[in-house]
Amino acid sequence: MRRFLSLLPLAIAGCAAAPQGAPPASPAGTCRQPADDAFVGQPVSEETGRAILAATGARILRWAAPDMMMTMEFSPERVTVHYGTDRRIGKVVCG
């Protein structure tokens, strides 16, 4: 019991808040949410897909057609592009 109590301060110290400062850099291939809606309204194309990958830093591109069933798990390396029946982009989201 005494040994356990002597380790308690170490366990509590591990819960302390991290020092403030610059956020850690994202690993290569991690999606960064676009700051604006630059791609909304653009046509669905291979060229637009390449531009979205370059702008977000994502490694995986997923096109989401209207009424398409998709898995719900989050992938930090993926960008999902939702488009409408007019084949124009409506939303770009990481995951």
> pLDDT, tens digit, for every residue of 7-37?
445 444 444 444 455 444 556 789 998 877 8
State pTM to two decimals.
Answer: 0.69
**Candidate CATH numbers 3.30.70.100, 3.40.50.620, 3.30.10.10, 3.40.190.10; the one for domain 23-94:** 3.30.10.10
Rounded distance between C-alpha atoms, residue 40 and residue 88, angstroms: 7
Q: Considering only CA atoms, which of 81, 77, 26, 87 is closest in space to residue 51? A: 81
Q: Are 83 and 90 in contact (CB under 8 A)?
A: yes
pLDDT score, position 18: 43
